[in-house]
Amino acid sequence: MKEGDLAPDIQLVSDSGEPFKLASLRGKKVVLYFYPRAATPGCTTEACEFRDASEAFAARGAVILGISPDGPGAQRKFKLNYELPFTLLCDVDKAATLAYGVWKEKSMYGRKAMGVERTTFLIGEDGRIRKIFPKVKAKGHAAQVLAAL
């Protein structure tokens, strides 16, 4: 996956349990951010920063979507607990994570394991990837993405 590529059209279930298709947002800018797990410290920091800047993103015509391997129940609870005003998508079978190339081997505390590498994709109105933010550090990331819009 590289900048300029057509973004894979993912079809997932949302935090509300409804089907969601990325192609439904064609014509809008999309901030598609992948995170490892709902309600963990880094993921909460990142989500809350996107929440706090959501009006600024909307003013620039951008829709925010979060994706993790969590199921609808966990995503819904995460969204409600932190009053997240955007859709969280459930990638339980890791289809989107694999399509976007963010399922990677990670090292934590000296152990290697497969997991989601925190990554954000800015997708243009034409469905093409405009910018990729790999190996994201949660704190300050929303401002970094907003500046790139």
Which residues is 88 bridged to in the sheet?
Answer: 66
Calpha distance 91→131 (Å, rounded): 22
Whether 48 is catalytic:
no
Among residues 7, 43, 122, 123, which one is catalytic?
A: 43
Calpha distance 144→128 (Å, rounded): 20
Q: Going along the chain, which residue ranges are E strands?
A: 11-14, 19-21, 29-34, 62-68, 87-90, 103-108, 111-116, 119-123, 129-133
User: Residues of 23-36 as b/e, b for ≥16 C-beta within 10 angstroms?
Assistant: eebeeebbbbbbbb
Q: Report the catalytic residues.
A: 43
